[in-house]
Structure 1
Amino acid sequence: MAVDPILLVAAALLGLCLGSFLNVCIVRLPLDMSLVNPPSTCPRCKQPIAWRDNIPVVSWLLLRGRCRRCGEPISRQYPIVEAAVGAIWVAAALLYGITLHALAAALLGTILLGIGVTDGRHYLIPNEYTWGGLVLGLALSLAGGADGFLNAVLGAATGFALLFAVAQVGQWAFREEAMGGGDIKMMAMVGSFVGWKGVLLTVFLGALLGSLIFVPLSLRKKRLVPFGVFLALGAAVTFVMGDAIIAWYQHFLHGE
């Protein structure tokens, strides 16, 4: 879809800034820290990070990935997440134009990235991602009228109920917690964006990806499976390609 280059630049800049904020969420939410105070500092020398050293991607490159004062290496996570969110916002604009659907895609993509990184590192999905995303999904669905809002509510309810049922069955079968509450709340959030059919596809894709990629490794190394990572990947695919995949499946099922 043709989009004014100036608007694409604006989308990129907004995405970069939100990526910088997402890094703060990734670092602080698992520690139950405020997202506002205290200001960001170097973990080694405790020097507050000046505004000129906090420009997304650019500052990391100019500083060559090190603290200006003490030379402590700065994680590559920061520019990677910032650039990724910038790319998400540009891609949303290119795919859907300057529309509410593009805004929904960009916001969901940003939240899913935060969930994926946080769950992959800490085996934790903070409520700020899930409940905050649920509110955004329901609010954006109002633009689609009563039908759009009803679909979002039904999707959220389906996501929560389905994962809750899976968790209960898993706990009964394995006599231990098989799925965290964060995954359950995450699927309620995802459902508000993709609807109930999208929830089913997301869970299927997440389970498939988890089985193919991580489960063999976890069996060898006895690591826990951060299912939220794969649900996030499945949700992203579902949002972009879900309608086409579901249509193909229905066509295949009926042999048409």
Structure 2
Amino acid sequence: MNAASLPGGTFLALLGVLGLLIGSFLNVVVHRVPLGLSIASPGSACPACGDPVRPRDNVPVVSWLLLRGRCRGCAEPISVRYPLVELSTGLVFVLAGWRFGVSAYTLGAVVVLAAGVAHFLIDLEHQRLPFPITGVAACGALAALGLDAALNGPDVLWPAVASAGVWLAVYGGIWLGTAGRGMGLGDVALAPVLGLLLGWLGWGPSLVGLGAGFVIGGLVGVALIASGRVGRRARVPHGPFLLSGAVLGMFAGASLWEGYLGVVGLT
């Protein structure tokens, strides 16, 4: 898929605002989904005093700054994680819009990236990748891919589907080969969704993203063991590495793949 021409500042600003709002919602998702709680009700409240969050105190980033990181009712500190999640989501939305322009791919990318932010934090804290979040990402990616095929022809479908199959085969094979000790089913379920999104861009981004997840995981694992923070048999969640590799493949995979081919003399 060819990226659309660079969009104007208005489009990027709208994406940024959307990302901030989605990031605010992701804070609810990250807290409630692992606990099996509804993300729709009740409304957000201070975990210390139970006071409902007022609409004026629920503006992404701005409210946290104006309240100086404390609850209006009881003055208990509000974690800096909340505005950081909002800012991070806004940033990746803007980067997707800048890189891929006004396109069906951007639509699919922002859905998967938003789900990825939630998955990243949940896996770090709970060592699981909830299937409902993966399902939302899969539906968003498939709907956007279908839209792209309807607008530009079906040729985009087959590389994306084949890439998803490769990612599923690799992660499913590891899961089967290690009897589930190497990674969880959540990783296996998420892998083809990321493979679909990257294969949509081409085999270079897909293969770079696939390999990068394992490289990043290996490097971080060695660093953690060398620093004494974890033991050799400690279970480190793989989801953040899987997602980090996919993001690298999405935004830099084509260039890295071309550079690799140049080094080995295949171009």
Whether TM-score is above 0.5 comes out as yes
Map 1:5-154 → 2, pairs under 5 A = 5-142=9-146, 143-144=148-149, 145-154=153-162
Cα offset for 1:82?
A: 0.3
CA pair 13-124 structure 1, distance change in 2 beyond 3 A: same
2:264 alignment counterpart: 253
> How many angstroms apart in 2 are the aligned matches of 1:97 and 1:207?
29
Q: How far does the alpha carbon of each residue in 1:207-227 deviate from its partner, in whole angstroms, 9 at most, with x for none?
A: 111111234315732342111
Counterpart of 1:187 in 2: which secondary structure? Answer: helix
> How many angstroms apart in 1 are the aligned matches of 2:126 and 2:14?
33
Cα offset for 1:163?
A: 0.4
2:209 alignment counterpart: 202
Give the aligned length.
Answer: 252
Q: Name segments (4+ residues, structure 1) moved above 6 Å.
A: none
CA pair 4-202 structure 1, distance change in 2 beyond 3 A: closer
Q: How far does the alpha carbon of each residue in 1:211-253 deviate from its partner, in whole angstroms, 9 at most, with x for none?
A: 1123431573234211110111100011112222223333333
> How many angstroms apart in 1 are the aligned matches of 2:139 and 2:168?
14
TM-score, length basis structure 1? 0.90
Tell me whether 1:236 sits opposite 2:244 in the alignment.
Answer: no
**1:230 maps to amino acid:** F
> How many angstroms apart in 1 are the aligned matches of 2:170 and 2:69?
43
> How many angstroms apart in 2 are the aligned matches of 1:61 and 1:110?
23
TM-score, length basis structure 2? 0.86
> How many angstroms apart in 2 are the aligned matches of 1:83 and 1:147?
36
> How many angstroms apart in 1 are the aligned matches of 2:185 and 2:27?
23
Cα offset for 1:255?
A: 4.8
Cα offset for 1:2?
A: 4.5
2:174 alignment counterpart: 166
Q: Is the 8 A contact 2:115 2:136 kept in 1?
A: no
Give unpaired runs (5+ residues) of structure 2: none
Give unpaired runs (5+ residues) of structure 1: none
Percent identity over the alignment is: 33
> How many angstroms apart in 1 are the aligned matches of 2:187 and 2:135?
12
- Normalized per residue, the structure richer in helix is 1
Q: Is the 8 A contact 1:218 1:225 kept in 2?
A: no
1:216 alignment counterpart: 223
> How many angstroms apart in 2 are the aligned matches of 1:57 and 1:97?
26
CA pair 139-59 structure 1, distance change in 2 beyond 3 A: same
CA pair 255-193 structure 1, distance change in 2 beyond 3 A: closer
**2:142 maps to amino acid:** L
Q: Is the 8 A contact 2:70 2:76 kept in 1?
A: yes
